């Protein structure tokens, strides 16, 4: 679909339009011909105010006209009016009703918690989301459930605590849906050893700035951290403990990830350094899908990894992706059912996102992707299956290009919430990150401002 705008609010206009169309290109006025089909979003000055209007034009004929009048110069009101008028006209034109309304951001729970912290009641917050943002009642239900199991981990805030993230940018193979910084290597490769040295140098470099802070959580992510040997893991842990105050550490997570790399040697090494949580990420329980997405293991390896982990008393998280290539609603449900039977303390139900940096995005015609209506059915079914099994939702986030305009939700058995996941989504705590392609987040309590610092994605440059 084409979009014509006569203002500079491109982001709002394009992102709202993309809730209804997979691709939206900005249209130059010179390109408007008699046969053109396009959306318009326009601002017209009127006596100190501005009129915001949205229409759909089909071959010279106008379909509907949504308008709002707001004060000129009120940037926030103008952005809202652009979003609202476009959403209303495109809902009428397409017959679609995106469940998150005009919200296009990653963290709707962050907005929910801000309103709750300001003293608004549950009923007032619900009214705000349903009338101001046009969020459906079902999604407000989800926000309420997530807040009930995460709010106490965020408030009251404590500026003496921070978290640490260690990014290991290596994997045994590249998954077709992945856009993270990663390099395909074999375990034990010399480059990985050089990288470990660079990470330890990075850890030491920033330590002085946080000498008065207490570390609340540590998270090894990636990539695939289990590409490291036990000795390499211990050296990184030694550096963290030497240079940061981990005396009151509340949670230590290691994203083991790939089942084929999980064995007794790895788990013993993790137990020895005090890791409390691990992630085993099956994504699916169907061999044909594992092969299609680029995995180098089968379902039998997943079951073996879970059995191995059960001997070490870790809290376990398992990831599942709805909408994977070639899968049906029924196959998605059967994968989730099998993982529920394995009984991890946490299950994260992801919705497939067609990330721009992924193989899947660039070769989409080569794959059969689950239709969006089926994705919605599968997510709804998965949500109910997890509730029925005794899990509750405790954190949630959204992504650009996510199938069906849906969300990713972390579910937990009661009392097993991941503090790190909650803090990362809420963004009210400083998280210092080490490793190529990582992002540190610095939270200023006084001003309620978060700033980000990105590290180069280039491994060779990072290791210099």
Q: Residue 58 falls within a domain, yes or no?
A: yes
Distances (CA, A) of 242 to 10, 71, 193, 238: 48, 56, 20, 6
Per-residue pLDDT tens over the stretch 78-97: 999 999 999 999 999 999 99
* Token pair of 130 as six digits: 């349903």
Same domain? For 141 and 78 the reply is no
pLDDT at 220: 98
Per-residue pLDDT tens over the stretch 53-80: 999 999 888 988 999 999 999 999 999 9
pLDDT at 52: 97
Same domain? For 58 and 181 the reply is no
Q: Residue 460 falls within a domain, yes or no?
A: no
* Token pair of 8 as six digits: 């500079």
Distances (CA, A) of 384 to 137, 193, 393: 16, 45, 11
Q: Residue 102 falls within a domain, yes or no?
A: no
Per-residue pLDDT tens over the stretch 275-325: 999 999 999 999 999 999 999 899 999 999 999 999 999 999 999 999 999
Same domain? For 182 and 67 the reply is no
Residue 203 near residue 218, CB atoms below 8 Å? no
Give the domain extent around 58.
Answer: 2-94
Distances (CA, A) of 252 to 67, 148, 191, 268: 52, 23, 26, 15
How far from the centroid of its chain's Cα atoms is residue 404's Cα? 15
Distance separating alpha carbons of residues 30 and 4, to the nearest angstrom: 11
* Residue 461 in this model has a pLDDT that exceeds 90: yes
* Residue 177 in this model has a pLDDT that exceeds 80: yes
Domain count within the chain = 3
CATH number assigned to the domain comprising residue 249: 3.80.30.20
CATH number assigned to the domain comprising residue 45: 3.40.50.10070
Same domain? For 200 and 299 the reply is yes
Q: Residue 135 falls within a domain, yes or no?
A: yes
Q: What is the mean pLDDT of the chain?
A: 94
Distance separating alpha carbons of residues 108 and 125, to the nearest angstrom: 12
Q: Give 451's contacts (C-beta < 8 A, 6+ positions apart).
A: 441, 442, 444
Per-residue pLDDT tens over the stretch 349-397: 999 988 878 888 778 778 888 999 999 999 999 999 999 999 999 999 9
Same domain? For 141 and 160 the reply is no
pTM of the full predicted structure?
A: 0.94
* Least confident among 183-192, 215-224, 244-253: 183-192
Percentage of the residues of the chain whose pLDDT score is greater than 90: 85
Distances (CA, A) of 208 to 204, 357, 444: 8, 35, 18
Same domain? For 80 and 212 the reply is no
Same domain? For 272 and 384 the reply is yes
Residue 229's region, left for phi above 0, alpha for psi from -120 to 50, else beta, is beta
């Amino acid at each position: 679909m084409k979009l014509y705008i006569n203002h500079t609010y491109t982001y709002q206009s394009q992102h709202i339009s993309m809730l209804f169309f997979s691709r939206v290109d900005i249209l130059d006025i010179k390109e408007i011909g008699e046969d053109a089909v396009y959306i318009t979003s326009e601002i017209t000055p009127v006596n100190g105010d501005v009129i915001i209007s949205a229409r759909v034009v089909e071959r010279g004929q106008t379909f509907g006209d949504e308008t709002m009048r707001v004060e000129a110069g009120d940037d926030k009101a103008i952005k809202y009016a652009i979003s609202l008028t476009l959403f209303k006209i495109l809902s009428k034109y397409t017959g679609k009703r995106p469940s998150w309304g005009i919200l296009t951001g990653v963290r709707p729970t962050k907005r929910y918690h801000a309103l709750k912290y300001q003293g608004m009641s549950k009923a007032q917050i619900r009214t705000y989301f349903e009338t101001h943002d046009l969020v459906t009642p079902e999604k407000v239900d989800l926000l309420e459930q997530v807040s009930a199991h995460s709010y106490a981990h965020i408030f009251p805030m404590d500026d003496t605590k921070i978290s640490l993230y260690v990014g290991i940018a290596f994997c045994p193979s590249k998954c077709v849906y992945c856009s993270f910084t990663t390099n395909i290597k074999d375990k034990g490769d010399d480059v990985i050893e050089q990288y470990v040295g660079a990470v330890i140098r990075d850890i030491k470099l920033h330590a002085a700035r946080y000498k008065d802070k207490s570390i609340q959580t540590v998270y090894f992510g990636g990539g695939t951290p289990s590409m490291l040997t036990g000795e390499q893991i211990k050296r990184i842990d030694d550096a963290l403990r030497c240079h940061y105050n981990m005396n009151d550490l509340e949670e230590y997570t290691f994203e083991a990830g790939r089942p084929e790399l999980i064995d007794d040697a790895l788990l013993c090494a993790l137990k020895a350094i005090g890791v409390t949580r691990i992630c085993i990420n099956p994504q699916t329980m169907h061999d044909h899908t594992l092969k299609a997405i680029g995995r180098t293991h089968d379902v039998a390896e997943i079951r073996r990894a879970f059995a191995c982990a059960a001997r070490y008393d870790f809290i376990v998280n398992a990831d599942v992706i709805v909408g994977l290539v070639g899968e049906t609603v029924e196959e998605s449900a059967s994968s989730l059912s099998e993982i529920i039977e394995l009984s991890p303390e946490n299950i994260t139900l992801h919705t497939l996102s067609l990330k721009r940096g992924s193989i899947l995005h660039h070769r989409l015609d080569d794959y059969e992707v689950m239709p969006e209506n089926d994705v919605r059915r599968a997510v709804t079914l998965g949500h109910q299956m997890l509730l029925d099994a005794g899990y509750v939702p405790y954190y949630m986030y959204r992504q650009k290009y996510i199938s069906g305009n849906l969300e990713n939700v972390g579910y937990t058995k009661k009392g097993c919430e991941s503090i790190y996941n909650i803090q990362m989504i809420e963004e009210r705590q400083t998280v210092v990150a080490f490793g190529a392609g990582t992002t540190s987040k610095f939270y200023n309590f006084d001003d309620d401002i978060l700033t980000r610092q990105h590290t180069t994605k280039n491994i060779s440059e990072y290791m210099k």
